[in-house]
Structure 1
Amino acid sequence: MIVTTTPTVEGRRITAYHGVVSGEAIFGANVFRDFFASIRDVVGGRSGSYERVLRDGRDTALQEMMDEAQRLGANAVVGVQLDYGSMGENQGMMMVTANGTAVTIE
């Protein structure tokens, strides 16, 4: 399955549109990860644990979006957008969404 942020796939013609598809991943912030991330923020550097969680969330959201596109008979998703946000009590939950248009290309 081809997945792209562009509205077309260069050199390929879109022959059918199947509709908007999306995938979501929502996960809670871990207390220990929060604690160690705050220490790292004080001394500088990157929070590898948060980066891994966000990467896993992105991968999950993209996979759900691709699965939905495949169920609709598409072989590509164009115009993909990723969005990140926080939600829940005290913004303790993180959310990643992936949206795009499921299409069939030659």
Structure 2
Amino acid sequence: MIITTTNAVQDRTVAEYKGIVFGEVITGINVFKDLGAGLRNVFGGRSKGYEEELTKAREEAIAEMGDRAAQLGADAVVGTKMDYEVLGSDNGMLMVTCSGTAVKLN
């Protein structure tokens, strides 16, 4: 499955638009990652735990979107957009969403 942020796939033409597809992931950040991030906030530096969780959530959202496009018979998803939000009363949840247009290519 080709997934791209562009509106076209190089050297290919869109034969059919299958519809808009989405991928959504909501994940919790555990107390140990919160403690590590808190220390990073005080002393500076990158939060590896949060970065790993964000990468994992992003990859899962893209894979879910690709799976939904494949169920429609698409070859690609074009015009992909990503969004990130924090949720929950203590901002302890991370939501990653992506959307794009599933297409059949020539």
TM-score range for the pair, normalised by the shorter chain length:
over 0.9
Aligned counterpart, 2:52: 52
Quick one: which amino acid aligns to residue 38 of structure 2?
A: S
Number of residue-to-residue matches in the alignment? 106
Q: Distance in 2 between matches of 1:66 and 1:60?
A: 10
Could you tell me how far 1:53 is from its partner in structure 2? Answer: 0.1
Letter in 2 for 1:53: E
How far apart, CA to CA, are the structure 2 residues paired with 1:85 and 1:50?
A: 13
User: Structure 2 length normalisation: TM-score?
Assistant: 0.96
Q: In structure 1, list runs of 5 or more residues that go unmatched.
A: none
Q: After superposition, give the CA deviation of every residue in 1:21-76 in whole Å (9 maximum; x if it has no partner).
A: 00111011211111111102221110011000000000000000000000000010
Partner of 2:87: 87
Aligned-residue CA RMSD (Å): 0.8
1:65 aligned residue: 65
For 1:100, the equivalent position in structure 2 comes to 100
Q: Does 1:10 align with 2:10?
A: yes
Structure 1-normalised TM-score? Answer: 0.96
Deviation at 1:92, TM superposition (A): 1.7
What does residue 40 of structure 2 align with?
A: 40
Tell me by how many angstroms 1:91 deviates.
2.0
Whole-angstrom distance in 2 between the partners of 1:8 and 1:75: 12
Whole-Å separation in 1 of the counterparts to 2:34 and 2:48: 11
- Aligned mates of 2:19, 2:91 — CA distance in 1: 32
Distance 2:75 2:15 in 1: 11
Aligned partners of 1:41, 1:96: CA distance in 2, in Å? 23
**Runs of 4+ that moved beyond 3 A:** none
